Structures are given as C-alpha cells and as structure tokens.
Structure 1
Amino acid sequence: MSIPVRTMQQFLRNAIDKNLDGEYQLYDSKLRFLTSSNPDHPTGNIFDPRELALLAQAMEHDTRGGIRMDSRYVSWERLDHFDGVLVRVHTLSEGVRGDFGSISIALTLLWALFTSMLLLSWYVIRRMVSNMYVLQSSLQWQAWHDTLTRLYNRGALFEKACPLAKLCHTHQHPFSVIQVDLDHFKAINDRFGHQAGDRVSFSCCRIN
C-alpha cells in the first residue's frame, strides 16, 4: 500500500505538539527523506552527506538520542510500527525564543550582573584598602616626625632606640645618645618671634 507524501506530511503536522519548537522530519530505514513538518523544506535538503553520515553512525548504537551539528541540535527516535526514524531539528534561534531559551537568557543576565557586582566590589575594596594604607603611612609619618624640621621626634627616638639598644646589648656593642642643647633659645623666640626661632631650630637640625 502506498501513501501519498502530502498525506504523510499532513499526518505528521497533526501528530506533533504545536507548543514544541523545531522541525520534524520523517526518514525511512536508509535515511531517505520522506516528508517534513516544515512546508519550506519539501525536499528535506537541510543535511549534507557528511551530516547524514554522522546521523547514521549515531543511530547504529541506540534507538533514540541526539547530536549537535553546528548551531543545530538534532534528536531522533526510531518508530515502533514504521520502518523509519523521526528526526527533530532544533535551531539556536528557536531555542532562544522558547521557554528554555528565556530561562537561559535570564540566568546569563543574572550571572553577568553578579560578576559585574563582584568586580565592582573588588575595585571598591581595593581602593579602600589602598586609601587606608596611604592614611596609615601618613599618620605613622606624622607620629614619628616633627612637622617643622621633618626629623624624627621623641616618640620615634624611643621606638627605634629601644630595639637598637637591645641589639647592642646582646652583641655587647657600645652605643651612645647625643643630645644637643641650644643656649638662650627662649630668648630668640622672645626677641625675634617664634618664626625666627623655628628657622634657627630647623637650621640646627640640618647640621651634619
């Protein structure tokens, strides 16, 4: 009994689920094209010989399965009461338009947003840590130096002298502390002002 191709095509269109994307094609056991659910492909010329060979090789090991061909995903299943195979061709554009594609796009956007937030947080934290390091260095410099002479002050003297004194004591090395006293320094401030006294103090500290 022979069945017209148009009748098989109409039967195939009525049998498939209208909510599913993709093109359905019917092949015989030798992978000869019979009909398609897409009227734009009446001859079924969507597979080249190489793709047909890959499809036949995959069908040798199972009665159903799928294989990716470029931007298309091809799934198949052998029919029980017909010596042939039903092939479904699902393109990337159809996948994007479907429910799964919408979910994939939403997940991709969420991943991009999450990654952007992580990068932005890393940049902000890095700037904060850098600013805190600069502030710490500035505060440490101000704590150890005199603002006028820019030399070590009394706090830095004890901070650095104590470890050096312990080191010299351990190795039995002599060390000394030199103290310079400026005579009549208060008289300079009283007679010429604090600005002149600061200049004298600065000049004395720069003497090697």
Structure 2
Amino acid sequence: MAFSATRRLSAAAAPAAKLSSLFPHRRTPKPRLPATESGGEPWRRKPTSRPRQPWGEDAVALLRRLHEGRYLPGPDLSEAPHVLSPDIVKAAAERFGHDHQVVAKWLSGSDLKKLALFGCPSVERRTVFASKRLRSFFNIPEDKICSSCKIRSSCQFVNQEVPRHHKVILSDTMRILTLFVLDACPQQLQVTAELKASVCKLLKDTMNLSSIFDKPIV
C-alpha cells in the first residue's frame, strides 16, 4: 500500500516537472557598462584636471596678436583665453613664429636659457622636441634635464638627443611659451616666479619686435 501511494505521488509531481522544463527560469541580464575610449573600466575614471587659469594680460595680449595677424580664425576670444583649446593656440603661435623668425636673434639669451633649463612643459611629441632643440642650442645635456623631470614617467623620449642647433627656432619658442601663458602645463610642474618673469618678457619682446618688423619701410 505504501509503495502504491508513493507511485501515485510521483506520478502527480511529474507533470509539474515537465511544465517547468517548458518554461525555464530566465535570468535577468546584468546591465553592460559602457566601454571607454581607452578600453579600460569606465568606473576607474582619471582624476579631473584643475581648470586652466591663463596668465591674465599676457594671455590676452598673445591671443589678440595672433587674431590680428589672422593666425587665429574666427571671432576675437582674447578676453576669454580659457575657452580656447591650447592645441589650436599652439599651432597658431608656431605659424606666427615661423613667419617672424628674424625676431629670435633679438631675444634675451639669459631668459631663453632659463626656459631651456626648466625642461619640457608637456610630454606631447612636438612640444618635447621643440624643448630639446632649444636645449641643444645652449648645449644642455638631455640627461641633466630628464633626470630631474617630474613628468618623465609619462614621456617616451627620455634622454633622447637631437642634432645640435645653431640658432633659436622661434616657432619652437612660441609653442613652449604658449603652454605656460595658457596655464596648460601638467600640475606636477612648478613654475617659479623667476621663470614666469622670463616667459612674460620673452613673449612681450617677441610681440613688440614682430610689430616693428611688420611695419612697411617708407
């Protein structure tokens, strides 16, 4: 009797088992996190960099000069230097320097050397090699600068030498000065008051001298 009862219970449970097999439990899919451009985990965000604080009148004067010379297209944004991309201004400043190379030989050698001894204001390739060419003019060894550089761990060109240059290339100098004036250097780099004074003097002299050479000879 007990055996018959057990068989009846098993038979009654069988349809329920078959029914569950027809409708398997569906797991709710986990939401996929959006991929990042670098392929890394999106929740591991890089720390937000501090807002740029361009150097007041010096940044305004640079952007106005570039705009007046048609090196910066579009509206005059000299009064709002923080909204302009440093890359766009760097490219414009380079073109300006290329067109006014004659000015380079009139710039202060001591201020240029202070700029060269500071190191690279960025690890971006064009800026790094602009800084290296300026150092080569003063015959400053690369290992001397790279050994104490605070951003060397991010640089791909540590201790890499360049051919000796026998003149200051103004397009290189303008690219470097622009990064300082727009306050677009990495936070790790500490710009001293002495260096800032040299940067401002070099920029002011470059713009003043370029205006003189731009004037037609009567």
For Structure 1 versus Structure 2, the TM-score category normalised by the shorter chain is under 0.3
Greater relative contact order: 1 or 2 (C-alpha under 8 angstroms, separation 6 or more)? 2
More strand by share: 1
Q: TM-score, normalised by structure 2?
A: 0.22
